[in-house]
Structure 1
């Protein structure tokens, strides 16, 4: 990896850390698509794994008193673990170009849904009925292309939890998938020693960005962050497609 590419990747992790600290789900939005553009999808998914474990483990601990209902959060996380294992197998067997196009289409679909349904909310009773299939589907995409947010975040936004509850549930969700991805990627040869090294180094900019995001998240409206995320996602998805 060239110095210019390395700098861009670390910048993406730093900005991703800001979004992660603010919303609980920002880091993959930037880091994974940018690494996919600069290198490829398997590299992006593997390098992001260790920073994903570190950042979400910390947020699960920090927001441990904010879970809206442990049954809901655990169901969501356990379903994600099952999906992530299946998705990681897909990552090892599918062509990188197919995964890249899939990532772009999923991101654009997520943006379209958010723009068309900015105020739509899901009833709590309905959310509890579909939490397992939604969690599993998000886990499949996390394992295969490193980005479950188009499914998991849109679902959680629709449920309408407050910021701290949202961060608690999403952090447990992402942590659960990373726990499954780690041994699976090692067994399939996706997580190589070189990628482990990059992942360990990438923890630093991600962790440094999170306190900044946490501070901003308590002072700037969620709507403002959503608009920034939507704009970035559209630009990255178009770049992935073309």
Structure 2
């Protein structure tokens, strides 16, 4: 009983905090949720719990802007290969090798946090986009299916396309929504989503939305760049701990 209460409290707290990060920065809910829950549970269980809160918050982010169809016309090759890559690699996450998937998850978190903290922004030319979008989508899908995290390399790539701020937020929402759908399809295909996890995932929508609302209020009172740096340093340390856990 005590273990169940602790798990429910941990899941609710994690999604509330992840929602705050998303409310302040416009992204980060799935990354924070996978990072924290992946340190407490198996990455497969964490990914199953992530599905519904991620889907709801990302659809909200996607439909909040006016350019959904224009973004779909521009980015459909990337979205298509995200689906293909995720379905192709989802057997890794569904396979239950906790040590391997935890280490991979930690490595992805380290790469993402390090790149975002240290790297200079890239720029992708219009001519390169034709071949780069499907390739980036495929790599993102493979990473998503193997770890449950769908920020690498999709987020740096979308930032490199030169979108205006509102269009970038909407493009990220599109990418995250497609990745969530693809991950859910892959896990369901392999029978790796227990009913109990889906119930907990449904309940996690509430703290995630409350966290997003709180984050939007916080954004008006603090410096988003400072908040973002603190968040990324914490994510980097968490990723290092998870990546090195396998060698202990």
Shorter-chain TM-score: which interval? 0.7 to 0.9
Confirm or deny: 8 A CA contact 2:15 2:208 kept in the other structure.
yes
Aligned to 2:14: 12
Which residue does 1:166 correspond to in 2?
168
SS at the partner of 1:166? helix
Match for residue 226 of structure 1? 228
Native 8 Å contact 2:25 2:228 kept in 1: no
**TM superposition shift of 1:162:** 3.3
Point out the more displaced range, 140-149 or 64-73.
64-73
Deviation at 1:128, TM superposition (A): 4.3
Matches within 5 A, 1:1-242: 1-65=3-67, 69-93=71-95, 95-217=97-219, 222-240=224-242, 241-242=244-245
* Deviations 1:173-207, CA, capped at 9 Å, x for gaps: 12112223333322322111110011001111111
Give the TM-score normalised by the residue count of structure 1.
0.88
Q: How far off its partner does 1:124 sit?
A: 4.2
Deviation at 1:237, TM superposition (A): 0.7
For residues 108 and 37 of structure 1, the distance between their equivalents in structure 2, rounded to whole angstroms, comes to 14
List alignment gaps of at least 5 residues for structure 1: none
Given the superposition, is the C-alpha separation of residues 121 and 230 from structure 1 closer, same or farther in structure 2, using an over 3 Å criterion?
Answer: farther
Q: Deviations over 1:71-97 (max 9, x none)?
A: 223232222111221121221236121
Looking at structure 2, the residues matched to 118 and 223 of structure 1 have their Cα atoms a distance apart, in angstroms, of 15
Residue pair 1:81, 1:177 contacting (<8 A) in 2 also: yes
In 1, the alpha carbon distance for the partners of 2:188 and 2:121 equals 41
Across the aligned residues of Structure 1 and Structure 2, the Cα RMSD in angstroms comes to 2.4
Deviation of the 1:135 alpha carbon: 1.3
Kept after mapping to 1: 8 A contact 2:141/2:179: yes
